[in-house]
Each structure stands twice: as structure tokens, then as C-alpha cells.
Structure 1
């Protein structure tokens, strides 16, 4: 019944591992299950390269285990709160991407420096610090996601939300690449110029109407 969703967690666990968005067992992934108030979520402490579909637990939106044997990620509160607050979100990926985490240490939001980044949010905000796995972290992340599909977690990493794991993963790639560009630009010591607000709005509108195959 849940195998397709469990397989997706395994597949995208390997994607974030192989693309170096995480190391070891860090980070976590979830996907909402159809119209149910339930989600498949990566298990706590299981390496991605040995994880099997049957290792992936299914929990309800209160975090209660409803299928499987292993404990869910310690960040289950963050994942379930996101789904509760934003019903249109179907997938969440949390990474410890290097350049994005570097920005989190200096509490620097990622402004709209490229057009691709603008499709995620005018600015990728920094959620205030709270301990991993805490209700406070979940609350801070939900707040940061009000006007953006992604948020930087202070002293921690990145969270990306989307209608599918495929889209959430692409978002992680875009944010991390832009974080790298931003840090390189910062290292010059010269002013950084984001795309002006009005031009940014026009660019987003045009891209949504014209980019890709329709």
C-alpha cells in the first residue's frame, strides 16, 4: 500500500547523498501520501546507502507510527507541521548543504540574485535557531516558509518544499548553487546587487508563462 512512497524516500535519499547535500545519516526527507493525513519519512539514523523501502516508516500528522517498525527522523515535528500549515505541499527535503549552511552561520538570507532563484522566493529567509527535533524549530521553519518555498535553518542547513520530491530536490540544487555564487560574490568585498523588485516580479511572471514545455 505504501511501497511506492517508501521507494521514493530511498531514491531521493541517494540523490541528496550523491550530490553531497548531506553526509552520513544527516538530513531527512518526507512525502505526503495521497489524500491521507499521513507521510512517508526517512528513518532515524539509517544510512541512505543501505536504506531499503521497508525501512521507511509511515506516520500520521501527529507523528504517530502507523506502518513500519523503525522510528521516523528526529525532525518529524518539522515535517508534520509543514504539512499541517501548508496543505498544498506534498514533499519536504531537509539537507545540510555546505554553502547554504555557511550562509546560515552569518544569518544572511539569500536574496533574488538570479531569475531561477526568484521562482522559489523573492528572498530565501533564515529561520531562527532552535534545537534539532524541537517544536520550536518546527515553529520557526513554518514561519519562515510563509513567503518562500525554501528556508535556511540557522546553524543547521536548508529545507525545501514542493508538490513532489523531484521538484523539492531541484529546488535544493538551485538554492545551494545560488548560495555558492553568493558566497563567492561576498568574498570580493564589493556590493552585491539583487535583481530589482519590479524587474524581479516581471521576470517571475514571464518565466511562469513561458519557461519549459507546456
Structure 2
């Protein structure tokens, strides 16, 4: 994805991610929400309440400031707007947040297992996985818990709910969501055959992130 220069560019990229996410089974109907910072402004766009991710149009986005005020676009933002807002406040390097409901990531966490990073892509893009205990959607506890995990992780599992993945741009945030779910699927398959040890080599992981 090219670097967005305008709000229209951001919205178009988020709409594309919404379509791809639904087509890959990472979200159903209006489950999940997407956001991105506006270039050169202390504001972000977030999908509106009840919007279907595979049917997003420019009218389906709300503009908000980092204080939580609606400044334009759709009048009702997603019920999860705090999840995005509070992540942006603690991570000035993050310009996009993708919140989806990937089945294997949620399932592996619910079974009480950590998601293993097995391939090079898992190790590089996911790197580490934070977790937040279950809290009601849209709650302050959920948003604050996710923001706290975002201080150390770019991929966060929201227990019995979904995931939040972060990136310097929309493409990277979505790429991390894809790799998180692939890692969770691989982990589930390992568990299914009784393997409890398969993981990316620790020495290679250390070299990858300290080169």
C-alpha cells in the first residue's frame, strides 16, 4: 500500500483492508473495526458504529481527536473507538490499528495456550503477543488494558473477543493481523497432534531482532 496523503487515501485503504479481512474469515459482518491517523493532524478516522467491514464507504468513517471528541464524518463512531484512541495516545509511532475477530487466535488463547511463533514471518512481523483478560466491548477496562499491552507489543489478543494489531501504516497493521492468525492456526495444529515444543529457534529470533 502506498503512503496515504489525504483522508480519502486513508479511507480507501481501510475499506480495502475491511474487504480482505472479511474474505479471509478474520471478521464477520460488523465484527471488528479499523482506524488510521490523519496525516499531519492530531486526529484519526475510525469505522462508524454498525458498519460492515466488507461494505465500507467514505460515509462510514468518523473523524475523532485524541481526546475522544467527534470532529467530523459519521456522527456515531464504533463502540470500540476508545480501543483505538488510547492506543494512539501511548504509541505515537503507530498510525493504524486493526481490530478483528480471528477465530484461531481467540480459540488458542481461550484454551489457555500462548500463540507460538513458528515461521520466519511470524517471528518478524508478530514478534511478541500481548493479552488482555476479557472485558466488555467498548469498555474503559478493555481500552486501557489494550493500551497498556501496546506499550510492549504490536499484536494483542483480547480474550474471548478478538485481536488488536498495530502498525506504522495500514498495510503493516493488517499484515500483522494476518500473521498473528496464521501463527495461531499453526499453534492449534501443533496442539492437535500433541506437539508442545515447536517454535521458531530462539537464537534465530534473537539474531533477527538484534541485527
Same fold (TM over 0.5): yes
Please give the per-residue CA displacement for 1:134-175, whole angstroms capped at 9, x wherever unaligned.
111011112222322111111111111001111111111111
- Alignment-derived partner of residue 77 in structure 2: 72
After TM superposition, give the deviation of residue 10 of structure 1 in Å: 1.8
- Alignment-derived partner of residue 101 in structure 1: 106
1:123 paired residue among 107, 120, 128 = 128
Check 1:121–1:47 CA distance in 2 against 1; reply closer, same or farther (3 A cut).
closer
After TM superposition, give the deviation of residue 121 of structure 1 in Å: 4.6
The total of aligned residue pairs comes to 206
| Aligned ranges 1:8-87 → 2 under 5 Å | 8-87=13-92
Is residue 2:200 matched to residue 1:195?
yes
Is residue 2:139 matched to residue 1:134?
yes
- Alignment-derived partner of residue 148 in structure 2: 143
Structure 1 unaligned regions, length at least 5: 207-214
Instruction: Output the CA distance in 1 between the equivalents of 2:52 and 2:137.
Output: 18
Instruction: Output the CA distance in 1 between the equivalents of 2:110 and 2:34.
Output: 23
Please give the per-residue CA displacement for 1:53-93, whole angstroms capped at 9, x wherever unaligned.
12211111122110113311111101000000000000000
Is residue 2:171 matched to residue 1:172?
no
For the residue of structure 2 that corresponds to 1:58, the secondary structure is strand
Instruction: Output the CA distance in 2 between the equivalents of 1:7 and 1:122.
Output: 28
Instruction: Output the CA distance in 2 between the equivalents of 1:49 and 1:123.
Output: 28
1:185 paired residue among 172, 175, 190 = 190
C-alpha RMSD over aligned residues:
1.7
Structure 2 unaligned regions, length at least 5: 1-5
Check 1:162–1:171 CA distance in 2 against 1; reply closer, same or farther (3 A cut).
same
For the residue of structure 1 that corresponds to 2:55, the secondary structure is coil
Instruction: Output the CA distance in 1 between the equivalents of 2:60 and 2:208.
Output: 43
Contact 1:111 1:124 in 2 (8 A): no
Instruction: Output the CA distance in 2 between the equivalents of 1:107 and 1:89.
Output: 29
- Alignment-derived partner of residue 7 in structure 2: 2
Contact 2:117 2:183 in 1 (8 A): no
Moved more, 85-94 or 142-151: 142-151
